[in-house]
Structures are given as C-alpha cells and as structure tokens.
Amino acid sequence: MVFSSVTFFYYFLPVVLAVYFITPMPKGSPRLRNIVLLVASLVFYAWGEPVYVLLFAVQCVAAWVFGLLIDKHRGKAISRVLMGISVAITLSALLLFKYADFFLRNLSSVLRQDIGILGLALPIGISFYTFQILSYTFDLYRGKTEVNRNVLDFSTFVAMFPQLIAGPIVRYSDVAERLLKRKHRISDIAPGIRRFVIGLGKKVLIANVMGEIVAIYKTGSENSTLFTWFYIVAFCLQLYFDFSGYSDMAIGMGRMLGFKFLENFNYPYIAKSITDFWRRWHISLSTWFRDYVYFPLGGSRVPLFRSVFNILFVWFLIGFWHGADWNFIVWGLYFAVLLLAEKFFLSKVLEKMPGILRHIYVIALVLIGRVFFDASDMAAAGSVFARMFGFASDGAFGPVSLYYLRSYLVPLVIGVVGCTPIPKMLMSKLSDKKAFTIIEPLAIGALLVVITAFLVDGSFNPFIYFRF
C-alpha cells in the first residue's frame, strides 16, 4: 500500500484515524492508542510485504530486549558488548537482503567463478527502520535517552506507518516523550491534512509527471544532447518532489496522530554550495551519519589525513546505503570529493562569486551526480554522460526532444518554481487576508479532487525511495 493511492487515502487512513480517536486514553495515557497505531502499521506493512512482517517483529523485539540489558548493565564493560551484539543483529538483515548479492557478484568476478546469488527480495523500508532502531541503541548506550520498558510502545516507534517505508528517519529521542504522553488536539487535524494533501500533490501532479519524461527518454530512440539534459533535469525534479512529497505526507499524518516529525527538506535546489545542499537535502539521513558515524570517528577534530578519511568513509557509506552497486558508491564518493574541495579551498572562491553563479555551480554538479544515482550501472552512466556532452548522441536536438519539451514545458516550469520558497512566500502573504480562511480549505479541496482524478486514471505509482 502506498500513500498515493485511493485505497490508502479514502479507506485505510480514515478508518485508522476514526478507530484511533475513539480509543480511550485512561488517565491520559496513550498506550491503547499506541496499540491501535501499532496494529494499523503492521497491517499497512503486511499489505505489501506479508512475508517480512515476522522479520520486522523479531528485529523490534530483539532491539528492545538488548535495550533493557544495556540499561541494566550501564557503566559496565559488558554493556559495550551487548550494544555490539544488538547492532550486529539489527544490521544482519540489512546486510543479508540488500548487500549479500553485491558481495557475491563481486566475489564471482574476482575469482572468475560463477558462485551464484541469493536473489532475495528486499524488504520494503528496511534501510529506514534499521537506522531508526540503531539510533535507539546508540543513544541508549551513550545515555542520551531513557530505556523503553514496554515492547509495544517501542514497536510503535519503529513501526509507525507514516514514516515506516521511506522516512524521515525518526530517532527515538525525538518521539520518546510523545510515545508515553501526548495531547491530541482538533487544531492539529486541519494543518496535518493540509500538509498531507500538499505532499500528495507534489507526488502525483509533479513527480509522476516528471517521471513520464524519464520513462519516455529511457524507452525512446532519440539520444540527442537536449533530450538527455531534459531527462536528467526531469529526474532531479521527480526525485525531489517524490521524496519531499512523501516526507510532507509523513509529517502531516504524524501531526494528526499527535507526533512532531522533524523536517527532512529545506529547499535544497536553492543552495549556494554543495555543503549547503547537503544541509538541506534528506536532512534526517545526513544528520544520522554525522552524529552516529562522522562524529564518533573524530569528525574534523583529528589530523588532516584522518579528517579526509572520515569524510570519504562516511560518504562511501551514504552511497552504499542508497544502493548495493558501484554507481551508488561512486555517487557517494563524488560528493565526498566535492565537499572536501569546498572544505579546503573552494569555499573561499565561492564566497567571492555572485550568488547566481554559485547557484549554477550547485545545480550543474548535482545534475551530474544524479546521472550516477539513476544509472543501472557504471556503463549506463558513462553512456548518459557521453550524450550529455555531445558524444555518441543524435546531435544537439531532434524532433522527439522538441516535441516533448513543448508538451511538458508547463509542468517543468511549475516544478522548477516549486523547488523554491516562492510558493510558500505567496501563501504567507495571502494568509494575512481575511478571505484566506475560506479560500484555503476550498483550494485544498479542489487540489484533492484533481489528485483523485489523476489517481483513478493512473496506475500503480510507488515512491522512488521504496527501493532503498
């Protein structure tokens, strides 16, 4: 089940919210509502991955049990051992399902023997919920959060369906208090619905439309330079609106349910440096690696060689987290090199450049990076680069590229403008008008009607980050 479906929005979500809010809260405790949320989340997960629900449950219970043991032996040497075992158990499923075939393929290549692969299907959302569990284990060991003594409450944290499949990566410390005690206010429902519908609109009306361009390019016969650049720009927009739309929906639903999830995007395409871009894109992931990998390695407060290694290693992991293939590793190291260049000398050059040139610099480098990200392998990435820069292409442009550029020009412009704070600024100015209280719900309702029409007329449209 996906958020961008009629089944979810018109059936699953209303039923869950109705049952959730009629469930009593004895003495103000949300425990019964946590159980409702947990059951709903397991149903949501089982809808698409019934075979992996048991695996998911085992990981939750194992992390919870080891959390109790770590807390019991806090300050003793054994607590470090227990943390290591817990981390190993949590990572084992991710390594098996996501990375085993990568290592087997490469081992076969090195040995020049066909070892074979496991061919296991990747459990949906495993990269995200694994990191959520790890955040609890690490913070508990460091004494930065309190142990959770109720397995159902802990499982609710891991399984919450708004952010279960594709984030944002919610840390236990961010929701610990609200798991045990939270207020449900009617005033949070309307903003939550608005945020959800806006995110749904991003996904259905912009990301999916940009995805059509990507699909046309990949299945078409014209490989002109113009069409190749058009494709990679469309992919950048698709990825942003797909993932930020999902995050908007997760944050909106979290607010309806009494939780406050942190923002995951902050207009990354207006960044003036690559460093700034990664402070704005997928914030929950970049801060996770910063706090749980980069800082423990010593960050930048170490000798120069070690500092360079830390950045390269972290970005190797970030690339590998996104996908078990060399193109993702190269993508991660590509950004590591850019960040190192800015850290040691390029930032001073950028500071002297006009803002528009800095912006062009960021967009150009991000577009190049997206080629690695979307390619099936390094050979495919090389072919796209050749077409982008006029080699092995069908010339500068052709009739197909011109036709689709004209056909998709309006949604393309809408997507470009939507990447900036301009829509939010306009809404802020309009919100001061008295008529806005009437116009806004009507506009949200109209947007929902349009989205529904697209969903009814369309086909299955999963989120890009489901595959990670």
Alpha-carbon span 129 to 157, nearest angstrom: 10
Alpha-carbon span 393 to 291, nearest angstrom: 44
pLDDT at 295: 93
Alpha-carbon span 135 to 65, nearest angstrom: 15
Alpha-carbon span 251 to 160, nearest angstrom: 12
Q: Are 259 and 178 in contact (CB under 8 A)?
A: yes
Whole-angstrom CA distances from 341 to 16, 120, 311, 360 are: 49, 39, 11, 17
Length, in residues, of the chain = 468
pLDDT at 283: 94
User: Which active-site residues does the annotation give?
Assistant: 322
pTM: 0.91
Residue 303 in tokens: 């000798």
Alpha-carbon span 319 to 226, nearest angstrom: 28
Residue 70 in tokens: 């770590």
Rounded (5°) CA angle 467-289-329: 50
pLDDT at 73: 93
Alpha-carbon span 464 to 461, nearest angstrom: 9
pLDDT at 465: 60
Instruction: Tell whether omega for the bond before 296 is within 30 degrees of 0, i.e. cis.
Output: no
Q: Are 56 and 123 in contact (CB under 8 A)?
A: yes
Residue with tokens 């694994």: 130
Rounded (5°) CA angle 52-93-75: 120
Alpha-carbon span 168 to 463, nearest angstrom: 13
Residue 140 in tokens: 């508990």
What single DSSP character describes residue 323?
-
**How many angstroms from the chain centroid is the CA of residue 87?**
22
Residue 270: left (phi > 0), alpha (psi -120 to 50), or beta? alpha
The set of residues, in sequence order, having a beta carbon less than 8 Å from that of 202 and lying 6+ positions away, is: 241, 242, 244, 245, 248, 418
Per-residue pLDDT of the chain (468 residues; tens, 9 = 90+): 788 888 888 899 999 999 999 999 888 889 999 999 999 999 998 887 788 899 999 999 999 999 999 999 988 889 999 999 999 999 999 999 999 999 999 998 888 888 888 888 888 889 999 999 999 999 999 999 999 999 999 999 999 988 887 778 999 998 998 898 888 887 788 889 999 999 999 999 999 999 999 999 998 888 899 999 999 999 999 999 999 999 999 999 999 999 989 999 999 999 999 999 999 999 999 999 999 999 999 988 899 999 999 999 999 999 999 999 999 999 999 999 999 999 998 888 888 889 899 999 999 999 999 999 999 889 999 999 999 998 877 788 888 889 999 999 999 999 999 999 998 888 888 777 777 778 888 888 898 899 888 888 766 566 666 665
Tell me which amino acid residue 243 is.
F
Rounded (5°) CA angle 220-458-427: 100
Alpha-carbon span 113 to 23, nearest angstrom: 59
Residue 53 φ then ψ, to 5°: -65, -40
| Cα end-to-end span (Å), the chain | 16
Q: Are 100 and 120 in contact (CB under 8 A)?
A: yes
Tell me which amino acid residue 182 is.
R
CB count, 10 Å around CB of 100?
Answer: 15
Q: Are 139 and 171 in contact (CB under 8 A)?
A: yes
